[in-house]
Structure 1
Amino acid sequence: MEKVNWKVEGMSCTNCALTVHKYLEGEGLSNVKVNFIGGDVSFELPKDNDAHKLELEKGIEGLGYHVANGAAQAAGVAKKKKWLHNHWRRFLFCLVFTLPLMVHMIPGVHIHWLMNHWVQLALTLPVYIVGMDFFGRSAIRSLLKGIPNMNVLVALGATAAFVYSLTGTFTANPANYLFYETTATIITLVFLGNWLEDKSVETTQENIRKLTVTQKIMANMIAYDDQYQEHVFPVESQYLKVGDLVLINSGEYVPMDCKILSGTASVNEAIVTGESAPVEKKMNDKLIGGSIVDSGSVKVYITAVGEDTVMSHILRMVQEAQAEKPPVQQLADKISAVFVPVVTSIALLTLLGNLFIGNHTFTESLLRSIAVLVIACPCAMGLATPAAIAVGLGRAARNGILFKNARSLEVFRNIKQVVFDKTGTLTTGQFALRRFAALAVEEEELKQIAYSLEKHSSHPIARCITREWKVKNELRWGKIEEVKGLGMQGTDKEGNRYEAVSHKAVAALTSDTTHNVYITRNGVLLGWIDVADEIRPEAKAVVAQLQQSGIKTILLSGDTKEKCAQVATTLGIEEVVAEQTPEQKLQRIADYNAVAPVAMVGDGINDAPALAKATVGISLSDASQIAMQSAQVVLMNHGLKHLPMALGLGRHTYVTIQQNLFWAFIYNIIALPVAAFGYLSPTFGALVMGLSDVVLAINSVRLNWKKV
């Protein structure tokens, strides 16, 4: 299956997203995700099916939306944009004709010929045509798909006023039916409101847009001629390929993910980690595309381009998280789905109630029902959650905190316990070889066996041993595997079984539990290795912050009781559970979860099951791949520094969602009866409706600088 990611323009509310979602699922596509905030649409379909993509794109275009990067663009099919292709242009066009209709509202100004019904019809007709070209088409398409959107309400209100005025134009007293300015102002002000809404939504995406380097990056590509003379020439980063050689000088962007061949540099990786302090890089270190070389000069070779880069992966993760619907949004979605029929019914009841019960004229009753149609705002309810989620995810990403789904951002508000692994989480994981002993073999043979086994592990202790004891004549394995919680096991081609394991695996061979790694061959203890690990400098402050917030801290590790107790005492951790296998860790997390929601922070292969079981699993960016895959949150700053911010952002994002939903509901609960009883004109209602979404966006954007 191929995963397709499209940018769809023109979606303005939850109903729009539901319409596109329903269409794609109706076409038999799987794993459909639609996010109207960013316009991101993704789905899966069989590979090499370009014809089907073109059909799907035409179908989405037929719904009234535009696929900006679809199959037609890839095939080189040029699409001519309409002159009135956005809300701002439509607003300006309509404003030219609407302003003369509103001149009579200015005190002391009365231009007789502008009150002529034929002049007013002539001024209103262009506005009505443009309005129905957008609102009318969108309304009809949404009705045909069974998901009426907000444009149904606008089209009904504007059409009711226009048809009523047009009917009156052909009667004996046309002056009594002149509501052309109502039609024109509704359409004009709703276009203005939609433009304000688009701009407001864009601001919620600001931090996410900053993750991409918008300008084209020029790279200094290195090439060699027939005489092996080096030549450097500029090339746009988009044309780089894996394996290309590039020179990066001080002050330049790193064009793509790469590895240093020679040279040293101080690199600012704030775009990914949120840390502005430069990181020193040397030969064989990796550089992330989009980071900046503050000082120094390096020659590198490209390791990943396009969709395979770290930055693309981060953006994809954030976009997918945005497309996920957290539980709190489900109620708003259900209400939004039935909102338009309910409001239409209220507008009809308003017309009949004012006419027959309130004894108002048909003209006044119609105006009140039009006001009900125009002031109602389903968009506000649909926007309440996605806007807050977009800002929360964006701020998190800018600070090196990656949420894989929106659910994990929301459930952070309930976290009462944080469980830490020890090695590589509370400690740096940068081990140094302290001492070793060869008991049944020579030292060189012990080193050879240890290196040959540990080179196949990503555990920090294993990386330390292979870094210190690199040998050339390593053993060749017929079978090699890493056993969670124990260590490495290998069998050579002669059938000899070797192990580099923790004490649990060799308890029958020695009672000495003080060493980190034990080396065996065919059940015989060959020697042991001790390494030293340092506690992360930020760990104590992070633990203190969590405890001040009323969160219980727990150390859960496979290491010995003595080492775990030492770390816990140094950091002030309240509870210690040591010498746990991955299965026991999993059970412990389940037990903690039964008491209160738990966040688990870990980085090793043995933490993966526990990370998946926790309410929220949190991994570090230098963790093992399986740990990062099992976690719902990844801290990209190579440490725990932003863990309190991640928890705080989760809580404050949820508070913002609650505030937004309260405003959306209270706005509609108050606005609808106010309009029904004649206290709001359709014109003012159209303006207030547009501003309601702006209020939600502004409240959401506050998350960017709010102390969390």
Structure 2
Amino acid sequence: MSDHQVKLSEQEMKAYRVQGFTCTNCAGIFENNVKELPGVQDAKVNFGASKVYVKGTTTIEELEKAGAFENLKIRDEKEQRVEREPFWRQKENIKVYISAILLVISWFLGERYGEEHLLPTIGYAASIIIGGYSLFIKGLKNLIRLNFDMNTLMTIAILGAAVIGEWGEGATVVILFAISEALERYSMDKARQSIESLMDIAPKEALIRRGNEEMTVHVDDIQVGDIMIVKPGQKLAMDGVVIKGTSTLNQAAITGESVPVTKTLNDEVFAGTLNDEGLLEVEVTKRVEDITLSKIIHLVEEAQAERAPSQAFVDKFAKYYTPAIVIIALLIAVVPPLLFGGDWSQWIYEGLAVLVVGCPCALVVSTPVSIVTAIGNAAKNGVLIKGGIHLEEAGALKAIAFDKTGTLTKGVPAVTDIVTYGGNENELMTLTAAIEKGSQHPLASAIIRKAEENGLNFNSVTVEEFQSITGKGVKAKVNNDIYYVGSPSLFEELHGTISDDKKQKITQMQTQGKTVMVLGMEKEILLFIAVADEMRETSKEVINQLNNLGIKTVMLTGDNQKTAIAIGKQVGVSDIKADLLPEDKLNSIKELRGKYQSVAMVGDGVNDAPALAASTVGVAMGGAGTDTALETADIALMSDDLDKLPYTIKLSRKALVIIKQNISFSLAIKLVALLLVIPGWLTLWIAIFADMGATLLVTLNSLRLLKLKE
């Protein structure tokens, strides 16, 4: 099934939020249970985002029945998040307290009357039943189906301990297992909170004016074209365009930019951003399900569901690993007594301990927790990573190619130098702007902007006989004099030659990556104006950081070699490729992949789409407001800036390191515990601590990814 088909089918499916998932295994069981419900044609669980998609008809009560084995709570996707009870007061944890109290009382009774006495045995049995009944139900059901998961392994081990008279240890194992499950639930919730907090960014109501009436309307009922009134200190509830007022908006929630941005007439604004000082009137442009914030949340949730390569490996490994552990445990329990005259009771006990140690909890949870946490952290910092696979690939990057215009530079030409040869600078600039007003050339707009900035009244100048000289410039009559504005080559044609000092000045400005425009008459040159595409303030620093991370940086541009080299040197990239057509960019990416294997392409997501698709990781600039960037790229930088790129690489690398640490640690701790079987030192206590300790450490290790800041 293609991604597109999955998206389509998910749109037809109804989404519900699920509370209480602890492990991927439980999510799988829940998915199968939902599929078996009457009226349900298909179901798909997204563990990372804690959601279930259902095709067909069903009710929340039915779904909760399907999730009763794990005490799952279901709510409609659109429903407000209910405040959770504090962790220590949750119903699932109360049975652990009762069970623990019974265990302590039984232990004291055992000290007083001896372990074999009936009273401590009853106490231990009660503790096992209260703390482990839900575990046994799951375990026994699985045992009947010959489905060996951790519940099955724990059930066999605990019942086995009771059979051979180790009631105390059986009860302790139940409690330690229940504690480990509760802590796992807590840490998974913590990892998911980064997404849940995104959902709470935008208000659920807004002040809307329809006709002459102002009213508070729920976001679901706001229509495109409604006028939203946003007072200072309020958050925007919807995306739209400013139709009245000027203010600064803090867009950190969407783009990760900490510096507030000024917004005025016709500027685009986003839901979830905070209005700092002015009163704004905003015309709503999107329905609530289409706003940028909704898209971000949807993409992040999809990303967390996508399996990363290391997770696919772990899941496959666990599939063969669990039955192997059951066989090893059986051999340990049976072979020494049968062949070497060992004590049955001792070796059955060792076999049970191996079952407990063999629980693949830590291993199975090692990757998803890291991925959910890293993607959630990135989203809060204004970076959208669209899947675990892209997170892992970004961590392995060897080279990054940058489009120049609009990526390393602002993409808007600006006047950088004005050199006069006779006459007043302001007068000559007024004259040039008046002539260029009739031109469509992008460089003309730079000259007009400069004249406006300097407050020059060029609109009052009368321009006659305006004429375009194709590819070279323009010609016009002002106050009965003929003036030319154009490239140096136009004046070489007019004047024959340009004096050496002027030629030198032109060459000097061109080698700095600037384009030179000339104002002159039939016989003389009056003014040079140098125009350049401005470098983004952060580009140099970002390239420097990437070079320090050991990543090869390459600039791809359609500009001429001279300009490209000037800008490339200024920004500090390690390689420059100039004079490229869009298909040449695509070939450059293929070449780089041949050389470095793992290559990212950073572009603005529109004209760079083929190159973004050909790279290992496509990174789009300015995800906020551009649907193309969100759709085509693997990673979208929500702010129109590069400064989040080094953070993304560091986060991805750290996630890769943590995933490797988690897998290695989970396997190492099990191996050490299994080796204790040889001298017969492995106890149920050590086994459960090894399993619980590994799971907890793996989860806490993954949560370190929440701490990574820019």
What TM-score results when the alignment is normalised by the length of structure 2? 0.74
Task: Pick closer, same or farther for the CA change 1:196–1:627 going to 2, 3 Å.
Answer: closer
Residue 46 of structure 2 corresponds to residue 40 of structure 1: no
1:601 and 2:602 aligned: yes
Q: Give the letter for the 1:626 counterpart.
A: T
Aligned equivalent of 1:103: 108
**1:80-127 per-position Cα deviation (integer Å, ceiling 9, x unaligned):** xxx99853123123223222122257xxxx33398632x345434444
**Stretch moving more, 308-317 or 237-246:** 237-246
Aligned CA distance change for structure 1 residues 188 and 143 (closer, same or farther; 3 Å): same
Q: What residue is the counterpart of 1:375 in the other structure? A: 357
State the secondary structure of the residue aligned to 2:384.
strand
Match runs of 1:544-559 below 5 Å: 544-559=544-559
CA RMSD of aligned residues (A): 3.9
CA deviations on 1:383-442 (whole Å, 9 max, x unpaired) are: 111122122212211221111111111112332211111111111134569999xxxxx9
Residue identity matched to 2:196 = R
Q: 2:240 aligns with which of 247, 253, 258?
A: 258
8 Å Cα contact 2:245/2:264 also seen in 1 = yes
Separation (CA, whole Å) in 2 of partners of 1:215 and 1:140: 46
Secondary structure of 1:300 counterpart: strand
Measure, in 1, the Cα distance between the counterparts of 2:225 and 2:564: 44
Distance 1:404 1:410 in 2: 11
Taking the aligned partners of 2:414 and 2:144, their CA distance within structure 1 comes to: 68
> Could you say what secondary structure the match of 1:255 adopts?
coil
Kindly indicate whether the alpha-carbon contact (under 8 Å) linking 2:224 and 2:285 is maintained by their aligned counterparts in 1.
Answer: yes
Sort the Cα spacing of 1:414 and 1:148 in 2 relative to 1 into closer, same or farther, 3 A: same
8 Å CA contact retained: 1:15, 1:336? no
Q: In the alignment, which residue of structure 2 is the partner of 1:315?
A: 297
Rounded to whole Å, the distance in 1 between the matches of 2:439 and 2:142 is: 72
Q: Could you tell me how far apart the structure 2 residues matched to 1:147 and 1:551 are?
A: 47
CA distance in 1, matches of 2:326, 2:131: 19
- State the AA in 1 paired with 2:232: S
Asked whether the 8 Å contact 1:274–1:637 carries over to 2, the reply is: yes
How far did residue 128 of structure 1 move?
A: 3.9
Q: Which amino acid aligns with 1:537?
A: E
Q: What is the distance in 2 between the residues matched to 1:594 and 1:215?
A: 45
- Asked if residue 248 in structure 1 is aligned to residue 230 in structure 2, the reply is yes
1:88 aligned onto 2:93: yes
Query: Which residue is equivalent to 2:704?
Result: 702
> For 1:629, which of 628, 631, 651 is the aligned residue?
631
Distance of 2:553 and 2:114 partners within structure 1: 78
The secondary structure found in structure 2 opposite 1:277 is coil
Match for 2:602: what amino acid?
V
Alpha-carbon distance in 2 for matches of 1:210, 1:202: 12
- 1:66 and 2:68 matched: no
Aligned to 2:82: none
C-alpha distance in structure 2 between counterparts of 1:323 and 1:604, whole Å:
24
Give the whole-Å Cα distance in 1 for the aligned partners of 2:35 and 2:578.
Answer: 49
The Cα of 1:547 is off from its aligned counterpart by 1.8
2:178 corresponding residue in structure 1: 191
The answer on 1:208 being equivalent to 2:195 is yes
* 2:576 aligned counterpart, secondary structure: strand
Instruction: State how far apart, in whole Å, the 2-side matches of 1:24 and 1:304 are.
Output: 34
> Could you say which residue in structure 1 is the equivalent of 2:424?
none
Q: By how many angstroms is 1:446 displaced?
A: 6.9
Q: Is the 8 A contact 1:376 1:668 kept in 2?
A: yes
Q: Which residue of 2 aligns with 1:136?
A: 136
Asked if residue 15 in structure 1 is aligned to residue 17 in structure 2, the reply is no
Partner residue, 2:589: 589
**Does 1:181 find its partner at 2:183?**
no
1:543 Cα shift? 1.4
Counterpart of 1:93 in structure 2: which amino acid? I
- Aligned-partner Cα distance in 2 for 1:330–1:272: 31
- 8 Å CA contact 2:64–2:74 kept in 1: the answer is no
- Partners of 1:10 and 1:199 lie apart in 2 by 9
Residues 216 and 190 (structure 1 numbering): CA distance in 2 closer, same or farther, change over 3 Å? farther
Question: For 1:434-455, what per-residue CA distance to the aligned partner results, in whole angstroms no more than 9, with x for missing partners?
Answer: 999xxxxx999976xx99xxxx
CA, structure 1 residues 364+147, in 2 after alignment: closer, same or farther (shift >3 Å)?
closer
Deviations 1:178-229 (A, max 9, x none): x3223322222211110011112233334333323279655334455xxx3x
Change (3 A) 1:353 1:35: farther
Q: Is the 8 A contact 1:605 1:624 kept in 2?
A: no
In 2, Cα distance between equivalents of 1:371 and 1:149: 16
Partner of 1:246, secondary structure, is strand
Residue 684 of structure 1 and its aligned partner are, at CA, apart by: 4.5
Q: Does the Cα contact within 8 Å between 2:109 and 2:120 map onto a contact in 1?
A: no
Secondary structure (helix, strand or coil) at the match of 1:304 reads: coil
After superposition, the C-alpha distances for 1:565-620 in whole angstroms (9 at most, x for unaligned) are 33213212232222322222212211111111211011153210110000111101
The structural deviation recorded for 1:550 is 2.3
Alpha-carbon distance in 1 for matches of 2:694, 2:140 = 25
| Per-residue Cα deviation, 1:48-70 (whole angstroms, up to 9, x for no partner) | x325x889947843775636136
Q: Is the 8 A contact 2:353 2:683 kept in 1?
A: yes
Please list, as runs of the form range in 1=range in 2, the aligned pairs for 1:668-707 lying within 5 A after superposition. Answer: 668-674=670-676, 677-706=679-708
Q: Does structure 1 conserve the Cα–Cα contact (< 8 Å) formed by 2:63 and 2:74?
A: no
Report the residue type matching 2:301 in the other structure: Q
**TM-score, normalized by length of structure 1?**
0.74
Provide the rounded CA distance (Å) in 2 between the counterparts of 1:31 and 1:600.
38
Alignment partners' CA distance in 2, 1:338 and 1:140: 20
Specify every segment of 5 or more residues in structure 2 that has no aligned partner in the other structure, as ranges.
1-8, 80-87, 417-427, 430-434, 454-509, 517-529
For structure 1, list consecutive stretches of 5 or more residues without a partner in the other structure.
Answer: 75-82, 165-176, 437-441, 452-459, 469-512, 517-529
* Pair 218,704 (structure 1): closer, same or farther in 2 beyond 3 Å: same
The alpha carbon displacement at 1:665 in A equals 0.7
SS of match in other structure, 1:12? coil
Q: What is the CA–CA distance in structure 1 between the aligned matches of 2:123 and 2:99, rounded to whole Å?
A: 9
Aligned-partner Cα distance in 2 for 1:65–1:558: 60
What secondary structure does 2:619 align onto? Answer: strand
Between structure 1 and structure 2, the one with the greater Rg is: 2
* Percent of aligned positions that are identical: 29
Equivalent-residue separation in structure 2 for 1:96 and 1:610 (angstroms): 64
State the distance in 2 between where 1:56 and 1:531 align: 68
Q: What is aligned with 2:207?
A: 220
Q: 1:116 to 1:144 in 2, by over 3 A?
A: closer
Is residue 124–residue 168 contact of structure 2 (8 Å, CA) maintained in 1?
A: yes
The AA in structure 2 aligned to 1:308 is: D
Q: 1:444 to 1:412 in 2, by over 3 A?
A: closer
Matched positions, count: 595
- 1:375 deviates by 2.9
Write the distance in 1 (CA, Å) between the matches of 2:609 and 2:114: 78
Match of residue 80 from structure 1: none
Secondary structure of 1:338's aligned partner = helix
The Cα of 1:626 is off from its aligned counterpart by 3.3
SS of aligned partner of 2:579 = coil
Q: Which moved more, 1:417-426 or 1:675-684?
A: 675-684
Q: CA deviation digits over 1:441-484, x for unaligned, max 9?
A: x999976xx99xxxxxxxx99xx9xx99xxxxxxxxxxxxxxxx
3-state secondary structure, aligned to 2:188: helix
* Aligned partner of 2:663 among 643, 650, 661: 661
- Residue deviations 1:291-333 (CA, integer Å, cap 9, x gap): 2222222122333354322222112211211111111222211
Contact map agreement 1:152 1:340 (CA 8 A) in 2: no
Q: CA deviation at 1:660?
A: 0.7
Distance 2:394 2:326 in 1: 39
Q: 1:559 to 1:56 in 2, by over 3 A?
A: farther
Instruction: Indicate the residue corresponding to 1:524 in structure 2.
Output: none
Superposition deviation, residue 358 in structure 1: 6.2
CA distance in 2, matches of 1:686, 1:125: 18
After superposition, what is the alpha-carbon deviation per residue over 1:249-276, rounded to whole angstroms, capped at 9, x for unaligned? Answer: 2222222323322112221111122222
Query: Of the candidates 371, 378, 390, which is equivalent to residue 389 of structure 1?
Result: 371
For residue 69 of structure 1, give the secondary structure of its aligned residue in structure 2.
Answer: strand
CA distance in 1 between counterparts of 2:401 and 2:106 reads: 67
Gap change, CA 1:586 and 1:26, over 3 Å in 2:
farther
Say whether the 8 Å CA contact 1:257–1:302 is kept in structure 2: yes
Amino acid at match of 1:36: F
**Larger mean Cα displacement after TM superposition, 274-283 or 400-409:** 274-283
Partner of 2:324: 342
